[in-house]
Amino acid sequence: MIVDTHAHLNTDDFKDDLEVVLERSMNHGVTKIICIGMDESSNRLAIDIARKHEMVYATVGVHPGYVDTSTTDHLEKLFSEEKVVAIGECGLDYYWRKDNKALQEKVFKEHIDLAVKTKLPLVIHTRDSFTEAYEMLLPYKGKVTGVFHCFSSDLLDAKKAVELGFYIGMDGPITFKKNDVLVELIQGIDLSRILVETDSPYMAPMPYRGKRNEPGYTKYVVEKIAEIKGLTFEEVSKITTKNAYDLFHLGGYKS
């Protein structure tokens, strides 16, 4: 039993074969998938997919790459949806754009405030911006939780995130050859604070690197973490699944 805690099933990449992809995921042991919203239209599509498929849950938010075209005004009316389990994808991205830092920070702050209000966890995107995001979250320690998705910083930053009460999301890059920083991170962070994810359709793990990613490939992330930590596949699957159930309140977890 594996939970892919971050997949974009609501993109055009899956519009023609979503049913097949979900069946393939089940065959690979992925029993739950969290479909991530990024703006108003993708939020609504994530909810629609979750309504139709028992194994799928949804998040709603405004990705930092969409802050110029989408606002958080529509989010509150979506929180009543039964299968919405988190706020995001939100955060800061200074890799692609730095000219709108003030707007990115304003919108991220709005997500944090919504998380305090609703008690929903945050799904956070940071690229070249961990320090800034961390500093924005620090005053809210104990009031918000969530996951730093697709973590790309180092062990020191990962420890800061964990100390803040957040989880670390691990994706396909952990399977790549040049991954020394991520290997050190996995070695230094307790498995009780790690989530597994794909970020489908992006960043497919080995042996599918360069091709469309899909939730079933979460098993390769689990395999690599097990190898690094000297644990069995079943041990990593069990603990990371419990982490996902705990953070997103999926209910009904059985060890």
**The pLDDT of residue 140 is above 90:** yes
pLDDT of residue 253: 53
Q: 180-188 and 218-229 helices cross at what angle (nearest 10)? A: 70
Find the domain containing 66 and state its range: 2-248
pLDDT band with cut points at 50, 70 and 90 for residue 252: low
Strands (E) across the chain are located at 2-7, 30-36, 56-60, 84-93, 122-127, 146-148, 166-170, 194-196
pLDDT of residue 111: 98
pLDDT band with cut points at 50, 70 and 90 for residue 19: very high
The percent of residues in the chain predicted with pLDDT above 70, rounded, is 98
Q: At CA 222, angle to CA 224 and CA 124, rounded to 5?
A: 105
Q: What is the mean pLDDT of residues 134-143?
A: 98
For 228-244, write each residue's pLDDT tens digit: 999 999 999 999 999 99
**The pLDDT of residue 11 is above 90:** yes
pLDDT of residue 255: 55
Number of domains in the chain: 1
For 166-205, write each residue's pLDDT tens digit: 999 999 999 999 899 999 999 999 999 999 999 999 999 9
**The pLDDT of residue 15 is above 60:** yes
Q: At CA 86, angle to CA 173 and CA 14, rounded to 5?
A: 55
In this structure, is residue 255 part of a structural domain?
A: no
In this structure, is residue 253 part of a structural domain?
A: no
pLDDT of residue 101: 97
CATH for 222? 3.20.20.140
What average pLDDT does the structure give for the chain? 97
Place of tokens 């097949």: 20
**The pLDDT of residue 254 is above 80:** no
In this structure, is residue 93 part of a structural domain?
A: yes
pLDDT band with cut points at 50, 70 and 90 for residue 245: very high
